[in-house]
Chains A and B, each alone.
Chain A
Amino acid sequence: MLRYQENNELHKDFHSSTNMTLDYIAGKYGVDALKMILRRTGRRVYKSIHDKLASGDASELVEHLNWFFMREQGKYQLTVEEDKIVFEVFECPAQKHLRKIGQAISPYSCLQTSEVNNGMCEDTPWQAELEIVAPGHCIQTFRKVVKK
C-alpha cells in the first residue's frame, strides 16, 4: 500500500520547479550537494518504500512506480521478478512536459531519478541502476543483491 495516496488533480508545472531547482542547487552548491538532497528525499521522504526494501519487500516501490507514472500518462513497461524489477520509461513525463511548455531540460534531470532511487535502496539488499537509452527514455533496474 502506498504511503502517499495522491489521486486528485495534477499540476505538471511542478516539473518546471523541480527542473529549476536541480540547476540552482548544482550550480550554486555543486553536484554532490544536489545528490545528497536527492538521496535524502529517496530515503527519508520515501521512508516507507525504503523500510520495506530493507526487509526485502519491493511491493510499495512497484506500486509507486506504476501509480505515479500512470497518473502522469507516462509510456512505460514494468517487469517484476522476485529479485529484479525493470522499469523502462519510453517517454519521461517530466521531460515531455518541459518540452511542451518550451523550457530547457536540466542536465541534472536524470540525476533526480538515479539519486532518489539510490536513496530508496540505501542500506537495503536492493541496488538501483539507471541506463539512459535516449533523451526521455531510460531503463531503471532494481536488483536484490545477495550478500555472501
Chain B
Amino acid sequence: MIPSDHFVRFYNEVFKFLDEKGELDEYFARIAKNQEFFCLQQFKTGGLQGVYDYYLKIRHEENCQMDIVFEDNELIMKMTRCPSLSKAIDNDAGVCSKYCQHCLGWTQRIYDLAGLYQIFDLGDWDDPTCCEWIFDDLSKAQARFEEIAETVPAERLYKNF
C-alpha cells in the first residue's frame, strides 16, 4: 500500500511518465471524473458555499496553509503553503515541473460542470503558493480578472470563462 501520506509522490512519478508522452491532459480529465464523486454535487447544489465548505475540510485533512475569504459572492483561496507541491518538492525523486497543472486540470472541469467561474494564479512550480478566485456571477468574474491581470504575469494566470 502506498500510504495516503505519500500519494502525491507517486502521483508526481505518474506525471513524469505521462509528460514524456505528452498525455497529461487526458489524465487530468480522468482525475476530474474521480473528483466528481467527492465534490461535484456539493458544488452544484451549494454553489460558492458548497466550495467553501469543501475546502474547509480539505484544508484540515490535507494540512494546507491556506487563507479562505468568502464575502460578496467572491471566494478567495490563497494557498500560502501547498502541502501537495511541498511534498513533491521534498522528494528524493525530484518534482515534475508540470506538477501544479493537475490542480488546474481537474478544478477547471469541476467548476465548469458546477456553473462556477474560476480565476487561478498558479504561481511557480517550485514555490508552493497559489491563489484562486471563484465566482457564481460571470460579470463579476470578468471584472476581477481585469484587475488581477494587471499585476499577475499572464503565463501563470488561468480562467475558465
B93 touches A20 (CB 8 A): no
Binary interface encoding of chain A residues 24-48 relative to chain B, with 1 for a CB under 8 A from any of its CBs, else 0: 1100010001001110110011111
Binary interface encoding of chain A residues 111-138 relative to chain B, with 1 for a CB under 8 A from any of its CBs, else 0: 0110010000000000000000000000
Chain A residue nearest in CB terms to B5: A6
A112 touches B1 (CB 8 A): yes
Query: Taking A21-B11, A33-B17 as contacts, is the C-beta distance between A68 and B3 under 8 angstroms?
Result: yes
B92 touches A47 (CB 8 A): yes
- Count of A-B contacts judged by CB separation below 8 Å: 103
B11 touches A92 (CB 8 A): no
**B-side interface size class:** 20 to 34
**With a CB–CB cut-off of 8 A, which chain B residues contact A10?**
4-5, 61
The B interface, classified by DSSP as helix, strand, loop or mixed, is: helix
The A interface, classified by DSSP as helix, strand, loop or mixed, is: helix
CB of B89, distance to nearest CB on chain A (Å): 12
Most buried by A among B3, B11, B91: B3
Binary interface encoding of chain A residues 43-69 relative to chain B, with 1 for a CB under 8 A from any of its CBs, else 0: 011111000000000000000000011
Selected A-B contacts with CB under 8 Å, 24 pairs: A6-B3, A6-B6, A11-B4, A11-B61, A13-B61, A18-B10, A20-B34, A25-B14, A36-B17, A37-B17, A38-B10, A40-B13, A41-B10, A41-B93, A44-B92, A44-B93, A45-B6, A45-B92, A47-B92, A68-B3, A71-B3, A89-B1, A112-B1, A116-B2
Q: 16 new A-B pairs (CB below 8 Å) besides A9-B60, A9-B63? A: A6-B3, A11-B61, A14-B4, A17-B31, A18-B7, A18-B10, A24-B27, A24-B30, A25-B14, A37-B13, A48-B92, A68-B5, A89-B1, A94-B4, A103-B37, A112-B2
**Residues of B that sit less than 8 Å from A by CB:** 1-14, 17, 27, 30-31, 34, 37-38, 58, 60-63, 87, 90-94
